[in-house]
Amino acid sequence: MYLVLLGPPGAGKGTQAQHLSAVLGVPKVSTGDLLRRHVDAQTPLGVKAARYMAAGELVPDDVVTGMLITRLGEADAVAGAIFDGFPRTIAQAHALDDVLRIRGGDLAAVLHFNLVDPAVVGRVEGRRVCPVDGSVYHLQFAPPRSPHRCDLCGGPLIHRNDDTAAVVVDRLAEYRRKTEPVEALYQDRGLLCDIDADQPAGHVTRDVMALLMPCSGDPRRVNA
Per CB under 6 A, 23 contacts ligand ADP: no
**Cis ω before 87 (30° cut-off from 0):** yes
> Which of these ranges, 18-26, 27-35, 150-158, 189-197, lies near ligand AMP under the rule CB under 6 A?
27-35
Contacting ligand AMP within 52-71 (CB under 6 A) = 52-53, 56-59, 64
Residue 31: how many CA atoms within 13 Å on its side-chain side? 27
> Which of these ranges, 5-13, 49-57, 67-75, 180-188, lies near ligand ADP under the rule CB under 6 A?
5-13
User: Shortest gap between Cβ of 220 and ligand AMP (angstroms)?
Assistant: 26
Q: Which element (helix H / strand E) includes 111?
A: strand 107-114
In Å, what is the CA distance from 104 to each residue of 4, 29, 79, 192?
A: 16, 18, 11, 21
Q: Which residue is nearest to ligand AMP (CB)?
A: 32
Per CB under 6 A, 112 contacts ligand ADP: no
Contacting ligand AMP within 35-54 (CB under 6 A) = 35, 52-53
Distance CA 29, CA 18 (A): 10
